[in-house]
Amino acid sequence: MARPSLFSRLKRKQQMKQSSQTESYSTKITKDLDDNLKNIKQMLGDPGDLVMRELMIGGMDKRAAIIYISGLTDENLINDNILKSIQLNLKKFDTNVIDHIHKEVIAITDIQKSNNMDDISFAILNGNTAFFLDGNETILLMSTGGGETRSIQQPESETLIRGPRDGFVESIETNMALIRRDIKDPNLRFKQHQVGKRSKQKLVLCYVEGITNPDIVEEVNRRLETIDIDFVSDSSYVEQWIQDSFLSPFPQLLDTERPDKVSSDLMQGRVAILVDGTPFVLIAPVTIGEALHSMEDYTQRWISATLLRMLRYLAAFFALFLPSLYIALVSYHPGMIPATLTYSIAATREGVPFPAAIEAFLMAITFEILHEAGVRLPKVIGQTIGIVGGLVIGEAAVSAGIVSPIMVIVTALTAISSFSVPSYSVAVSFRTLRFAFMLAAAILGLYGIILIYIMINIHIVNLKSIGVPYSAPFAPTFLKDFRDLVIRSPITKLTKRPTHLKPLDDQSKDVEPEKGQ
């Protein structure tokens, strides 16, 4: 790095601010053990969880120290493989003590040497253990990462009836291993990046070389480099940083907790982005065709899977249009509703003081509030929301004459439909659009609805996800990809990778016989 290292910059800043007060510490490694320890301590602000253990090397009269942070490390490992080995060592080394200790004494596979204070402090903060030897400028950094993490559980945001049960966790190493377990291809690549100017989190771009189009990988890499942010608490930060359009209501990268989904998408020629500290892995590029797909589609037999998919399209239509159609039909085009139904709607609406638009907005907003409250509340109290919501929406509002029973049906159907959208981020964008439709219907009836619909289409054809048109494979049309779009063809027919992603190798199954055989 051409720029001065972070700690020296921080130090300089501090010095400039309060030059008189600051205790000065050196960012250079010296030969003196005590100096080094003092420097490290001051650099990190002498925290309570920093463990410094001074020791004598067995068989020699030499002082040394190990430093680590207690919660981030596996202390058993340190005790057994570092501390014990060093203390019980009986050999005597005359020259190059640190090399001998590195090669003969310490029983840990991943050891690195360093003499840079920045690297050492980051390594310690990453869960490594540093070994300082008196009279020596080379420091050993031993990988002893550990500490408490969540164990692999079923993903909560995407549950399947049939399919693998494991979900990603917060540890990026575990997540990478989960993908590796699925794909044992030597061409599986994990390109490491770092995000967070201060948090220094690991970010891994995952793809399969020879399948994924290199342009996609290159473009994602380029965008990842531009991320300039202190701390990334979830992959959504990364998503919002590298997406093509921040004005769009549609997610241009898909998030998932399911390793099987990531693996199958990697196999189709997409890339995955893993971020340390979150179980949500990003998948890119995605298109509108993917929005209503679920992994469940592939575990069912193709006819039922296709029907379910069509059901989901119908549900998406309801989730988007139903309340707005109600508003438009009741207030602008009552002639379109069959006469008898018109009478019954009119009869039930007789006591309702509001126009249909207000009624619909009232119910839709009530539902959204209930939904939001239900998400935030702990599970035990969450049931209360169901009861309150059911009573308020189902009974009281109608009998109080605020809304009509038909409106309750519309709201309920919309709500159920919107939950049948498999991806939460897509469902959220549908929620937003639903209100746009309702507003348009309130002002201009069916005409307003179609104008908004056209506008959404205009937006979609102009939107891109990592360079791939969001409207693919509908337009630009890739007829081959229609096999797995609205219908889900039998698995035996799905032998080609999606062509709209322009993979290098379009065959997912090796049907061509090898030459010479």
The sign of the CA dihedral 284, 285, 288, 290 is negative
What letter represents residue 135's amino acid?
Answer: G
**Residue 285, preceding bond cis, omega within 30 degrees?**
yes
Which residues touch 460 (CB under 8 Å, ≥6 apart)?
A: 250, 288, 470, 471
Q: Say whether residue 450 binds another protein (CB under 8 A).
A: yes
Task: For the CB of residue 487, give the shortest distance to another protein in the complex, in Å.
Answer: 15
Task: For the CB of residue 143, give the shortest distance to another protein in the complex, in Å.
Answer: 38
| β 50-56/63-69 pair status | antiparallel
Q: Say whether residue 346 binds another protein (CB under 8 A).
A: no
Q: Say whether residue 449 binds another protein (CB under 8 A).
A: yes
Binding residues for another protein, total number by CB under 8 A? 36
CA distance 222 to 401: 58
Quick one: which of 316, 278, 265 has its CA closest to 421?
A: 316
Quick one: which of 72, 73, 30, 78 has its CA closest to 55?
A: 78
Among 312, 468, 485, 497, binds another protein (CB under 8 A): 468
Task: For the CB of residue 374, give the shortest distance to another protein in the complex, in Å.
Answer: 32
Q: Say whether residue 333 binds another protein (CB under 8 A).
A: yes
Among 457, 490, 491, 507, binds another protein (CB under 8 A): 457
Task: For the CB of residue 318, give the shortest distance to another protein in the complex, in Å.
Answer: 14
Instruction: Report in angstroms the alpha-carbon separations of 423 from 140, 179, 295, 435, 499.
Output: 46, 20, 11, 19, 23
Task: For the CB of residue 210, give the shortest distance to another protein in the complex, in Å.
Answer: 12
Of residues 215 through 254, those in contact with another protein by CB under 8 A are: 215
Among 177, 409, 454, 491, binds another protein (CB under 8 A): 454
Nearer to another protein, 15 or 457 (CB): 457
Query: To which H or E segment does residue 289 belong?
Result: none
Task: For the CB of residue 420, give the shortest distance to another protein in the complex, in Å.
Answer: 21
Task: For the CB of residue 332, give the shortest distance to another protein in the complex, in Å.
Answer: 6
CA distance 255 to 280: 6
3-state SS record for 429-494: HHHHHHHHHHHHHHHHHHHHHHHHHHHHHHHHHHCEECCEECCCCCCCCCHHHHHECCCECCHHHC
Q: Say whether residue 332 binds another protein (CB under 8 A).
A: yes
Query: Site mask, another protein, residues 404-443, x = CB under 8 A?
Result: ----------------------------------------
* Residues near another protein, by CB under 8 A: 213-215, 332-333, 335-339, 444-451, 454-455, 457-458, 461-462, 464, 467-469, 471-472, 474-477, 502, 504
